[in-house]
Structure 1
Amino acid sequence: MNAYGVEFKNGDVISYCDEQFEVIENYGSSGTVREFLGEDRYGDTIRNFRWEVYGEKCKKIK
């Protein structure tokens, strides 16, 4: 069985708790993302970002 989120690809935009992030790298059950603020605007880069935490899962939105 594959880890949740393994299907996220570089450049995908995902949603977690009403915030959006762009996937930079996927390591399986976690990865590196950067905050996606919309229309080519980005915030902080977050390393070791888990695709599922406390039962809340990231969802691909584009």
Structure 2
Amino acid sequence: MIVQKSVIIAKLRERGQNVRADWVDRELPDEVDTFLFSGLLATLHLDLNELEESPS
């Protein structure tokens, strides 16, 4: 599954994890392959279901 980097950054900022969000913004591509980056997403405690939700 491909997730936009902006979605990951938004989730981290919602949690107050601004330093991690800034790092993600610098280091990850605009489109993040969740399979390739599964370890990183797990380290950041991001659930794929959480990332699939579209903001209303």
Taking structure 2 as the reference length, the TM-score comes to: 0.31
The structure showing larger relative contact order (alpha-carbon pairs under 8 Å, at least 6 residues apart) is: 2
Q: Which has the higher helix share?
A: 2
When Rg is computed on C-alpha atoms for both structures, the one with the higher figure is 1
